[in-house]
């Protein structure tokens, strides 16, 4: 497994729409494993394939340590409520903003074995699901920010 380079804001790949994964191959599995290593090294909550230079609909999330969620071809199928919370991004270091996101989200995706599943998330998990699926559509968190925070507010 390897630590991948995280693409930074300004790289055009972050603004491109990702292609669905047609077949889960050994390369797909290696990407998932490498993304997990990269996420842990960066101490982040989520990581999407375009953030490591791959234009495929793959994302991982780890809100609770040791509980890695792998999403292949994720589609948000239901949202409820609203939350306005502070959000940041591994591809946009040093910048934070308050985003308007659903309080509860249901996502449908494939796991690494090609099995379809649905996952419901609230709070931080709901935000992370939205944040990572936005990456797959070429959107960054500050596109949805209600307001960006100043350096004084970040601390």
For residue 89, which of 155, 18, 39, 147 has the smallest C-alpha distance? 39
Q: What is the pLDDT of residue 155?
A: 65
Which position among 87, 122, 132, 153 bears the catalytic label? 132
Tokens of 44: 């982040």
Q: Can you give the pLDDT at residue 154?
A: 76
Domain limits, the chain: 12-154
* 132 belongs to the catalytic site: yes
H or E segment at 73? strand 69-80
Q: How confident is the model at residue 150 (pLDDT cuts 50, 70, 90)?
A: confident
Q: CA 127 to CA 138: how far, in whole Å?
A: 16
Cα distances (angstroms) measured from residue 31 to each of 41, 56, 76, 97, 126? 15, 10, 22, 29, 23
- Condensed to tens digits (0 to 9), the pLDDT of residues 106-145 reads 999 999 999 999 999 999 999 999 999 999 999 999 999 9
Q: How confident is the model at residue 95 (pLDDT cuts 50, 70, 90)?
A: very high
Query: Residue 97, class by beta-carbon neighbours within 10 Å (0-12 exposed, 13-18 middle, 19+ buried)?
Result: buried
Residue written as tokens 């920010």?
145
151 band by pLDDT with thresholds 50, 70 and 90: confident
Ramachandran category for residue 94: left, alpha or beta (phi over 0 → left; psi -120 to 50 → alpha): left
Distances in whole angstroms, Cα of residue 9 to Cα of each of 19, 53, 83, 87, 94: 20, 12, 25, 15, 11
**pLDDT given at position 8:** 98
Strand partners for 61:
46, 69
Binned at pLDDT 50, 70 and 90, residue 74 comes out as very high
Q: Residues 7-48: pLDDT tens digits? A: 999 999 999 999 999 999 999 999 999 999 999 999 999 999
Mean pLDDT, rounded, for 72-93: 97
Which fold would CATH assign to domain 12-154? Peptide Deformylase (3.90.45)
């Amino acid at each position: 497994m390897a630590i991948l380079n995280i693409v930074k804001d300004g790289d055009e790949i972050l603004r491109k729409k990702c292609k669905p994964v047609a077949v889960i191959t050994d390369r797909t599995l290696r990407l998932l494993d490498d993304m997990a290593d990269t996420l842990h090294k960066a101490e982040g909550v989520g990581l999407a394939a375009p953030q490591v230079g791959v234009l495929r609909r793959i994302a991982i999330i780890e809100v609770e340590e040791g509980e890695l969620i792998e999403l292949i071809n994720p589609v948000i199928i239901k949202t409820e409520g609203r939350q306005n919370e502070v959000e940041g991004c591994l591809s946009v270091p040093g910048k934070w903003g308050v985003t308007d996101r659903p309080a509860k989200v249901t996502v449908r995706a494939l796991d690494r074995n090609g099995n379809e599943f649905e996952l419901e998330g609230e709070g931080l998990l709901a935000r992370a699901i939205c944040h990572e699926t936005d990456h797959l559509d070429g959107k960054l968190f500050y596109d949805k920010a209600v307001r960006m925070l100043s350096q004084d507010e970040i601390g």
